[in-house]
Amino acid sequence: MRIAIFGQYYQNDTRPIIRDIFLFLNENQVDLVIEADFLKILYEHELLKKSYKTFSSYEDLQSGFDLMISIGGDGTILRAATFVRDLGIPILGINAGRLGFLAKVQKENINAFLQLVLERRYTFSERTLLELQITPDDGKIPTLNFAMNEVTLSRKDTTSMITIETHLDNEYLTSYWADGLIV
């Protein structure tokens, strides 16, 4: 099994969670690939000593991953979705925060859930993925054009209202004259 790991570091509260995840997955010889910035933080805080392969973009994840583990809260899962995009890699959210509407796995249940993952005994909760296309593409918009819950369009460097022409499945929907738009 090949698993990508993305996360946020939340001081000492995250230490036991990270330790448990890596201990379990390493003991079960899972091929782990860690997001480069997260791995750097883990090394800086001496949470890991072993060397790991890394990823830093969507392109790095394009082949052969069974799962992405997101360590953090719901915001971390939303960020993880920008790496996965339309690759079809499921994201398992391990909650290191407080609420966790999307990050369902609580720290007390990590080993039990990871065992189910290794046995491939789980179900998917499908989410809608949004893709944003800008026309004309003037190169000023970042290439990050995927989101899980919402996309926000807003004006920049102007106090004037903007016109936002919207299409749904390539069919004209309407135009908005506004400060911005949340889709």
Non-local CB neighbours of 2 within 8 Å, separated by 6+ positions: 30, 31, 33, 64, 65, 66
Is the preceding omega at residue 136 within 30 degrees of 0, hence cis? yes
Would residue 74 show up in a list of annotated catalytic residues for this protein?
yes
Residue with tokens 């999307």: 102
The residue annotated as part of the active site, out of 37, 60, 74, 157, is: 74
Amino acid, res. 49: K
**Total count of residues recorded for the chain:** 183
CA distance 61 to 150: 23
120: DSSP letter: T
CA distance 77 to 95: 10
* Residues labelled as active-site residues: 74
